[in-house]
Amino acid sequence: MLVLEKKMTWKEFRELEIDDNDKHIYELIGGIPIRRTSPGLKHQRIARRLSYALGNFLETKPLGEYFYALTDVYFDNLNGLVPDGAFISKDKYSLLENDEYIAGPPDIIIEIISPGTVKRDRVEKKNICEKFAVKEYWLIDPANKTVEIFAIKNNVYELQLFLEIKGKLTSGMLPGFEMDVEELFD
């Protein structure tokens, strides 16, 4: 992970000139641009399985739209994240009008923890999502085969669901969605 020294705004961050051959992912946290490497294969497999399950569910029950990997999410002038997944309910479709990034807090943010992102996913990104009242924050930990879902209650995240190796992944934001956790980690 590389942290660039100069603080910048979201507008300046979006205007950064990045070489087309640069395969890193960039996020803006507290006005500081952070560069990280792209996720590993296990991470990508989990992201693909979850995306497939959520995509199929939303085809049959069109509650909103799911975005995965490399979709920028704007929170404010100093914070823009690139989560592993984001769900936008139909009543928040106005956040999608610019067609370049999600222009405000989604209903759900999903992070798949990688060895180099533990602190950022568990603390920094979670705090940003809590501050901006993202309704659910999902943490998927491939190393421990766990899923944690935090739901916002009175402006604070509470652990809503904790699954380890087995169990049904469900969400208050996605009524009717169920996925066996084992399917994520096979």
28-47 pLDDT, tens digit each: 999 998 888 888 899 999 99
In this prediction, residue 2 carries a pLDDT of 52
For residue 15, pLDDT over 90 is answered with no
Beta bridge partners of 32: 29
In this prediction, residue 91 carries a pLDDT of 96
For residue 17, pLDDT over 70 is answered with yes
CA–CA separation, 114 vs 159, rounded Å? 21
Per-residue DSSP letters for 24-88? -EEEEETTEEEEEPPP-HHHHHHHHHHHHHHHHHHHHS-SEEEEESS--EEEETTEEE--SEEEE
Fold of 39-185: tt1808, chain A (3.90.1570)
65-116 pLDDT, tens digit each: 999 878 999 999 999 999 999 999 999 999 999 989 999 999 999 999 998 8
Please, are residues 34 and 3 in contact by the beta-carbon 8 Å criterion? yes
Q: What number is the average pLDDT over the span 129-151?
A: 98
pLDDT: which is higher, 3 or 162 = 162
Q: What number is the average pLDDT over the span 129-136?
A: 98
- Domain residue ranges in the chain: 39-185
- Residue 153, token pair as written in the block: 């209650």
The sign of the dihedral angle between the CA atoms of 49, 14, 78, 34 is: positive
Beta bridge partners of 174: none
Q: Counting runs of H as helices and runs of E as strands, what totals does the chain give? A: 5, 13
For residue 129, pLDDT over 80 is answered with yes
